[in-house]
Structure 1
Amino acid sequence: MASASASGSNSSPSYDDVVLGRRSIRGFLRKPVPREVVQEVLSLALRAPSSLNTQPWNFYVVSGAPLDAIRAENTRRNLAGVPPSREPRSHGEYTGVHRDRQVEIAKQLFAAMDIPRNDKAKRTDWVLRGFRQFDAPVSIVVTYDRTILGGDIGPFDCGAVVNALVNAAWSRGLGCVINSQGIMQTPVVREFAKIPQDQVVMICVAMGWPDETFPANAVVSKRKGVDQCVTFIGFDDDEAGKGAGKSKL
């Protein structure tokens, strides 16, 4: 993984390199991320599109003692059985093919980390890592304006900017994982990140310099192919690769 910031060269990775190379990072070096680097990443991410250019998002970038406090209290409350209090609506339990994909990535990660199915201690440790935001040196808490709570477009816009954020980070040699476990106890995050009530806490992104020796960081999740999720309408059969000569519309 090379970039101008990580390698010291003046070259930047291509867009294709970033999109195809990026993966979720769950193990980080114990090395701080300078504020100016985070600011550079966010400046790029803020070019993300939004509905009618509303840009409903805000970011609370947390590090040091406040982040340690969030980690500790989030973990304590979860272990004590305090019900999760995430503000975004839950999708509930996944079923069907969505559940299959969830299980598949879990198997990949557990195999990489040598976590047997019946090893309760190792499985618990993995869950605790998630509660601690994988011990990343930086957590970026993404919020949006409460005035648009209740619609689906605000969260959609946040998804666009978070995608831009993780790709921008990768282009600078940083790794991220989008981490809903880190905001399971939203009041904790709100308190220590000083997030006002007029903001809805959407998600957090753990960020730092990747530890290339951490086994889970090598996991590349599988993706659907174009043929599995794309329908072309109005294209010639030649263009769609299905024959010649006929237009569908």
Structure 2
Amino acid sequence: MDFTTLVATRRSVRGYKPDPVPRELIDEILHVAKGAPSSMNSQPWHVHVLTGEPLEEVRRRNTELMLAGAKANRDIHTHGPYEGVHRQRQVDIAKELFAAMGIAREDKVMRQDWVMRGFRQFDAPVSIVLTYDRILDPGATCHFDLGALSYGIVLAAWERGLGTVVNGQGITRSDVVREVANIPDDEVIMTCIAMGWPDDGFAANAVRSVREPNEAFVRYVGFPD
């Protein structure tokens, strides 16, 4: 498909078929995505692709720890809870997802199950963990670069019929991911991308988040009125 259609049709996928994704196809996707721009051509990324028993172990241990009330242990610093308009956008998409899945506001069990799905990386058959060299910290510039790589991955996957969702919950316990995937200590775990074949019968997969109109966030300077 053409690029505009690719971008316009892509959506976050939160329900997957159990079918495996061929290693060759993932390698093809990463070959495309690595064309993303990076500061000074630094290409600061490392990619760790998990499937099978290692991924199941990450899921299992993440879930056990979070259900037990363990604190998050991420390599990167986070902003904490969203507030203001950012919080409102988070709430809006959550309402749409819960409505699609038939999860009532008072249904604490199902709401908790949905949260746990995030820690399980939505049961996708593949998890792509993105890291960068610790020597680049504080890493605002390389964070930007890994964001470009991440978008390249999700678009290249979508073009090939694969769904993805960028899933920060999947690395909430970065220590677990590091141990299971044998990620070196000199790499910082930034995020992961769940990937697999979309389950078209999973209602939440039909949900598309709304984007703000350009005038809400764009300023033009120096252009004629």
Give the alignment's TM-score, normalised by structure 1. Answer: 0.89
Q: What amino acid does structure 1 have at the position aligned with 2:61?
A: E
* Structure 2 counterpart SS, 1:62: strand
Q: RCO greater where, 1 or 2, for CA within 8 Å and sep 6 or more?
A: 2
Residue of structure 2 in register with 1:153 after alignment: 141
Relative to structure 2, which stretch is displaced further, 200-209 or 75-84?
Answer: 75-84
Residue of structure 1 in register with 2:97 after alignment: 109
Match of residue 180, structure 1, among 168, 177, 180: 168
Residue of structure 2 in register with 1:68 after alignment: 56
1:151-203 Cα shifts (integer Å, max 9, x gaps): 31011111111011111110110000010111111111001111000100000
Asked whether 1:38 is paired with 2:23, we answer no
Q: What amino acid does structure 1 have at the position aligned with 2:39?
A: S
Residue of structure 1 in register with 2:7 after alignment: 19
Measured in 1, the distance between the counterparts of 2:41 and 2:54 equals 32
Q: What amino acid does structure 1 have at the position aligned with 2:193?
A: V
Measured in 2, the distance between the counterparts of 1:92 and 1:187 equals 19
Measured in 2, the distance between the counterparts of 1:69 and 1:92 equals 27
Q: What amino acid does structure 1 have at the position aligned with 2:3?
A: Y
Runs of at least 4 residues off by over 2 Å: none
1:80-114 Cα shifts (integer Å, max 9, x gaps): 11111011111112111111101001001100111
Asked whether 1:131 is paired with 2:119, we answer yes
Alignment of 1:194-205 (within 5 A): 194-205=182-193
Measured in 1, the distance between the counterparts of 2:76 and 2:97 equals 26
Measured in 1, the distance between the counterparts of 2:59 and 2:81 equals 25
Alignment of 1:90-109 (within 5 A): 90-109=78-97
Displacement of 1:139 in angstroms is 0.2
Tell me which structure has the larger Cα radius of gyration.
1
Residue of structure 2 in register with 1:50 after alignment: 38
Residue of structure 2 in register with 1:190 after alignment: 178
Measured in 2, the distance between the counterparts of 1:151 and 1:214 equals 37
Displacement of 1:136 in angstroms is 0.3
Displacement of 1:227 in angstroms is 1.4
Displacement of 1:61 in angstroms is 0.2
Asked whether 1:140 is paired with 2:128, we answer yes
Q: What amino acid does structure 1 have at the position aligned with 2:51?
A: S
Measured in 2, the distance between the counterparts of 1:182 and 1:173 equals 22
Gaps in structure 2 of 5+ consecutive residues: none
Relative to structure 2, which stretch is displaced further, 147-156 or 61-70?
Answer: 147-156
Measured in 1, the distance between the counterparts of 2:214 and 2:30 equals 30
Q: What amino acid does structure 1 have at the position aligned with 2:27?
A: Q
Measured in 1, the distance between the counterparts of 2:110 and 2:176 equals 26
Residue of structure 2 in register with 1:219 after alignment: 207
Q: What amino acid does structure 2 have at the position aligned with 1:40?
A: E
Alignment of 1:74-93 (within 5 A): 74-93=62-81
Measured in 2, the distance between the counterparts of 1:169 and 1:56 equals 21
Measured in 1, the distance between the counterparts of 2:139 and 2:60 equals 33
